[in-house]
Structure 1
Amino acid sequence: MLTRKQLELLDFIRSRMDRDGVPPSFDEMKEALDLRSKSGIHRLITALEERGFIRRLAHRARAIEIVKIPEAMEKSGFSARVIDGGRRTEPARNPMAALPAHAMELPVMGRIAAGVPIEAISEISHHIAVPGTMLSGSGQHYALEVKGDSMIEAGINDGDIVVIREQDSAQNGDIVVALVEDSEATLKRYRRRGDMIALEAANPAYETRMVPEHLVKVQGRLVGLIRSY
């Protein structure tokens, strides 16, 4: 039996993984549940782990895997979006899914900077199999290998593979591939501030980059993550 706060946190983690493909940070959990400190979130996370609803992945910042959900939440159609593995992957096994996931081949378009922006990516380096359940909507998808650690508190680490849905717009809080001045591509959280775009890192060692709106083009939104060990 879970408490109301434990259920709220599990549902928030579920919704954020379904939306972004990565778990929320402790700060985002604290804000969502209106708690005063991260220690409260830590206690809730520990309780959920002890009861077998989540599992924390070793040596990965903020890396959480949902193992099971209560029956009431299961009826809402949860579909896990984060899987473990390297370049060669198998379809994710989701015990809540009615049908097995089918793997699909996506092009890996090179490396994307989760740190200092690098040159725009345009060449396919190889292909990777990803679960069909990770692909959102009917648009085109591609994958990128992450370089750098600026998104580590969003659960995105150096060497991970991110799955991107092609789109040219974003909502505040989305993690996107942003093309800056038609020459540099970077993976950051997107926020609009007047006529400026804030490209936010998820690592306190990196400052938020403010760029005039006309110099930023959204190339896609993060919908999934494949962890590489």
Structure 2
Amino acid sequence: MAKDRLTQRQNEAYEFIRGYMDQHRKPPTLQEIGEALGIASTNGVYKLLQALEKKGWIEREKHAARGIELVDETSDPFGMGSGQPRLPIISRTASDQPERLRERPKGTISVDDRLLRQARDPDACLVGQAGDDGMNGAAIQKGDLLLIEEMDWSDLENGALVAVLVQAKLLARTFHFANGRLHLRPADRHYTEDTFPPDHPGCYVIGRLLGLIRTL
């Protein structure tokens, strides 16, 4: 059965449902989906499920609290093809809790394996969403999905494009280390450079950028 491609938000819902069912061997309730996705209204969750059902990704049993069934899980919600690496899309994470980056991803996305050829370790790659327009000058926009290879800041070269958590916001920046401090430089004149000591809890360098994925 042919399926329509999902929006990013619909994909987040689909991937949560699939992950929940893998872990608990039963579908989640509307409330559980809403809590996971930060949707306060059950009506908002209901509309998401309607869209997933209309596009052919789930089937629902009326009047059942857990009446969700996945349809043919072998395809990719973004329509990017099967047999390709699937990377986690990281959810909101605090900079002082980097160990939670992979704990509860928003979902997963298939990527062309050619995008990973420059990675030292493809298994260390993940995807995060740019949280501002600070790198507009480098053609990176807020909302872009960034392909990131996790890497300790000490292994990065000055001038590398990196993804960094500042508090709980994921930002793309140009990295420099000088005078014992991490320098995070934007490419847009409306943003200022941030500097942090390497052990500052308000800043965590996730790793270097390998590319980006943009949806229209």
Give the alignment's TM-score, normalised by structure 1.
0.49
Say if 1:105 and 1:128, in contact at 8 Å, map to a contact too. Answer: yes
Q: Which runs of at least 4 in structure 1 moved beyond 4 Å after TM superposition?
A: 117-121
Structure showing greater radius of gyration is: 2
Matched with 2:112 is 131
Higher relative contact order (CA 8 A, sep 6+): 1
More strand by share: 1
Pairwise CA distance, 1:186:
3.1
Matched with 2:188 is 203
Please give the root-mean-square deviation of Cα atoms over the aligned residues, in Å. 3.1
Say if 1:191 and 1:199, in contact at 8 Å, map to a contact too. Answer: yes
Gaps of 5+ in 1: 1-86, 92-101
Q: How has the CA–CA distance of structure 1 residues 201 and 119 changed in structure 2, closer, same or farther, with 3 Å as cutoff?
A: farther
* Deviation sequence 1:123-178 (CA, Å, 0-9, x none): 30011111001112324110012222111111111221111011113111111123
Matched with 1:166 is 150
Gaps of 5+ in 2: 1-76
- The letter of the residue matching 2:143 is G
Pairwise CA distance, 1:88:
1.6
Question: What SS does structure 1 have at the residue aligned with 2:108?
Answer: strand
- Aligned pairs, how many? 130
Matched with 1:7 is none
* Deviation sequence 1:188-226 (CA, Å, 0-9, x none): 111112111111111110011121233254321101111
Say if 1:170 and 1:218, in contact at 8 Å, map to a contact too. Answer: no
Q: How has the CA–CA distance of structure 1 residues 159 and 180 changed in structure 2, closer, same or farther, with 3 Å as cutoff?
A: closer
- The letter of the residue matching 2:175 is Y
Say if 1:111 and 1:145, in contact at 8 Å, map to a contact too. Answer: no
> Is 1:223 aligned to 2:204, yes or no?
no
Say if 2:135 and 2:188, in contact at 8 Å, map to a contact too. Answer: yes
Q: Percent identity of the aligned residues?
A: 25
